[in-house]
Amino acid sequence: MGVRFLTLAAAVGVALTLAAPALASDANMSQVWNGSKFLGMVSYTEAPTSPVTLGVGEINVVTLSSSAPNKLTIKDNGNFIWSGWGWGQSFGCQTAKGADVDGDRPATCEHPNGIAAFSADLDKWTDTFTVDPSVPPGIALSIKGGPWTDQIDVHDGSSNDYVDCGATFDWVWNDVGDTTVNCETESLGEQLTSGTAVASMGPGHLDVFWRGSDGALWHKFFAGAGWSAAESLGGQITSDPAAVSWGPNRIDVFARGATGTVVHTWFDGGWHAWESLGGQLAPGSGPAVSSWGSNRLDVFWRAVGDDLRHLWFDHIWYWEESLGGQITSDPDAVSWGPNRIDLFARGFDGALWHRWFSSGWQSWETLGGQFSSGPGVESRGPNKLDVFARGMDGGLAWRSYNSGWTSWLNYAGRFNSDPAAVSWGAGLPVNLFMRGPHDELYHAVLP
């Protein structure tokens, strides 16, 4: 598992300047000024291995920190990377050049009147850019992602920070309140003590659920005009929640209750009191739920003996049955149409396993991989599935089915929960939610 490696045929050099009014610069554009404060310019050149080998490329890890208001330090952990700022000038950076794998030759930029802004461009490879919390929030940051997969962790605190995720699937961390645009990811804040659940009552509508620090179920929704404030739905839950909608104005939410049973609340114009449906979930394990139509619910969970249990609602509740198997994670389930359920869980071998209901339960099949979480799954229509899980490195793994399975795609990241996913409909993007590296609610939109 881990970072996706890509190769290029030649090194690429990039220089990016930060636009500002009334700028002055030296003849080589190595320093940019706004009045008496240093705005600056930074440049990275990233070279591939030689000779270029399929599946092998350069990964650059760049960290920005500050020991004083007038000083910024760029630390480059990567082969064949150089960065500079104000070469040969009175103020600016020294160049860290060559195979500086451990970042022991950081480039330090300083100016006696203070540094106002920093600009960087992550160009061609799979890069990580981190801004240390020591950087004062008054320094405006302008970070641009490249065309591949980047991880960007900006210093949260300046409303002038700008993050451009580039043209691909990037993770942007810790950017609440900053002027992040065109990003496939966003932090929605909050403090989670569980993974997430998500349901959609129709296009333009999302409902997200999690356990708060008080043990209660919390909820916020998107209804086409932005995110609502978080609200408590009460209860005391001891697992990740699970949620589904069988149609407009209806959502059902399930979790493991304080006594280990399946507990349930639902919305049909207003939220109902919690009820217990019995059963006994394995400690810490949460349920899964799917619906193939109005007044139909199928609920699954890992029992104390690690077998898979199932109960269903078809206008009334039917009691539980064992579906056997030996699973080591929360399951997840989805229906792409009447009389069809696809069910996923991690097995004892660490791989993802799949079985499905179509006029009867079919045998388990392995989808391979090695995972540190349970799955998240959604369907964009008949014969279409997207399944996600957290890899052993904390990143995201994604596999799709469209009348046949694709290979796993792996994206770097730092997640603390099972993923949860939903799509509004056929041909539309996937909305993915997870607990982020700072226990915040994180949202990504996948094409």
Express each pLDDT in 204-233 by its tens digit: 899 999 999 999 999 999 997 789 999 999
Name which of 350, 398, 354, 390 is nearest 370 in CA terms. 350
CA dihedral 99, 100, 102, 107 (to 10 degrees): -170
Domains along the sequence of the chain with CATH: 12-183 (no CATH), 196-446 (2.120.10.70)
Separation CA 186–CA 39 (nearest Å): 27
The 3-class SS string of 138-191 reads CCEEEEECCCCCCEEECCCCCCCCEEECCCCCCEEECCCCCEEECCCEEECCCC
**Predicted pLDDT at 75:** 78
131-161, pLDDT tens digit by residue? 888 888 778 787 877 777 777 877 655 667 7
pTM of the model: 0.75
Residue 349 pLDDT exceeds 60: yes
pLDDT tens digit sequence for 333-343: 999 999 999 99
Q: Is the pLDDT of residue 22 over 90?
A: no
User: pLDDT tens, 233-279?
Assistant: 999 999 999 999 999 999 999 999 999 999 999 999 999 999 999 99
> Is the model's pLDDT at 130 over the cut of 90?
no
CA distance 72 to 93: 9
Q: Is residue 96 predicted with pLDDT exceeding 60?
A: no
pLDDT at 13 (0 to 100): 26
- Most confident range (mean pLDDT) of 27-36, 101-110, 369-378 is 369-378
- pLDDT higher than threshold 60 for residue 379: yes
* Residue 98 one-letter amino acid: G
| Residue 215 backbone class (left: φ over 0; alpha: ψ -120 to 50; beta: rest) | left
- Lowest mean pLDDT: which of 15-24, 55-64, 79-88, 264-273? 15-24
| pLDDT score of 55 | 35
Distance CA 80, CA 84 (A): 14
**Taking the CB of residue 221, how many other CB atoms lie within 10 A of it?**
18
pLDDT of the residue at 321: 94
- If pLDDT is split at 50, 70 and 90, which confidence band does 394 have? confident
Percent of the chain with pLDDT over 90: 48
Say what the pLDDT of residue 161 is.
77
